[in-house]
């Protein structure tokens, strides 16, 4: 969506929306919580930068425009595509939601809960959030995925029945050697420590997957082409026993 709108057109609509926010009393001079400075802070910038946007001397970024839509209840369809009216489809967020967004606290809950079978299938993706159960843990930000562990291959680090919370990463990103990842293929999910394997030309071609329970589970190697998704395991949640 962002690639289809020029920054110039985005900035033009930003100025119209800014004026509408002023007329609605959402931006007020000499108001601690609704001043231009407070507005700028919500967007992660400074008051003088907002002034430059309004003068057309600089242009608002796509990320700032999206955040403005989230915090002030502005239609993204209008902001990025010029469809409809700025406030035609979205009500102004309630104070709790607006405070969470301004403080960078995820709202609504940002952790997608699924199961290993669904996650390994082609029916669910890391970016599909609306129809699945979600929750939030204080201090954990970003789009995360959680599921329960089956089996004891990672014991004692991760036991059967533990829940792991994972951060999706790009397939071509730098892996941290010997850290724990969820490696998703076309048919299953492995939660293992990973090591890179290289060919004789120094190209990274395979992953070596290693269990912490090495007495019962041997390491094995898979080709990079088998990997469909890659997630860094950032936390485990263990139930009472």
pLDDT value, residue 98: 59
Rounded to 10 deg, the angle between the 7-23 and 62-72 helix axes is 30
Q: Which residues of the chain have pLDDT under 70?
A: 1-4, 88-108, 116-132, 240-241
CA distances to 77, 142, 165, 190 from 20, in Å: 17, 30, 41, 51
Shared domain check, 62 and 15: yes
CA distances from 171 to 114, 168, 185 (A): 21, 9, 12
Instruction: Provide CB contacts within 8 A for 145, sequence distance 6+.
Output: 111, 112, 114, 119, 126, 165, 166, 168, 182, 231
- 3-state SS assignment for residue 99: helix
Whether 36 and 87 map to the same domain: the answer is yes
Report the first-to-last Cα separation within the chain, whole angstroms.
Answer: 48
pTM, 2 dp: 0.54
- Render pLDDT for 79-135 as a digit per residue (tens, 0 to 9): 988 888 887 544 555 555 655 566 565 556 778 787 765 555 443 443 444 446 777
Residue 144: its pLDDT value, please? Answer: 87
Closest to 172 (Cα-Cα) out of 145, 142, 203? 203
| Number of domains the chain is built from | 2
Domain final residue pick, 55, 82, 102: 102
- pLDDT at residue 1, as a whole number: 43
Q: Which CATH number do you get for residue 46?
A: 1.10.260
Q: What is the pLDDT of residue 89?
A: 46
81 and 155 co-located in one domain: no
Q: From CA 166, how far away is CA 117, in angstroms rounded? A: 16
The answer to whether the beta carbons of residues 73 and 26 sit under 8 Å apart is: no
């Amino acid at each position: 969506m962002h690639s289809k709108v020029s920054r110039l057109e985005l900035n033009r609509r930003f100025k119209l929306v800014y004026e509408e926010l002023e007329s609605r009393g959402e931006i007020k001079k000499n108001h601690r919580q609704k001043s231009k400075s407070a507005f700028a802070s919500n967007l992660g910038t400074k008051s003088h930068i907002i002034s430059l946007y309004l003068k057309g001397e600089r242009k608002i970024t796509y990320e700032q425009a999206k955040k403005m839509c989230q915090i002030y209840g502005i239609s993204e369809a209008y902001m990025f595509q010029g469809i409809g009216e700025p406030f035609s489809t979205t009500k102004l967020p309630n104070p709790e939601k607006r405070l969470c967004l301004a403080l960078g606290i995820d709202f609504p809950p940002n952790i997608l809960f699924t199961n290993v079978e669904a996650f390994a299938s082609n029916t669910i993706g890391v970016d599909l959030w609306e129809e699945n159960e979600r929750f939030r843990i204080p201090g954990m930000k970003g789009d995360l995925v959680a599921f329960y562990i089956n089996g004891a291959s990672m014991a004692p680090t991760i036991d059967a029945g533990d829940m792991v919370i994972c951060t999706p990463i790009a397939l071509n990103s730098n892996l941290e050697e010997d850290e724990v990842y969820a490696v998703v293929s076309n048919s299953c999910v492995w939660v293992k420590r990973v090591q890179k394997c290289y060919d004789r030309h120094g190209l990274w071609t395979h992953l070596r997957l290693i269990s912490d329970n090495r007495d019962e589970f041997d390491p094995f190697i898979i080709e990079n082409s088998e990997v469909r998704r890659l997630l860094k395991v950032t936390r485990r949640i263990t139930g009472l026993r």
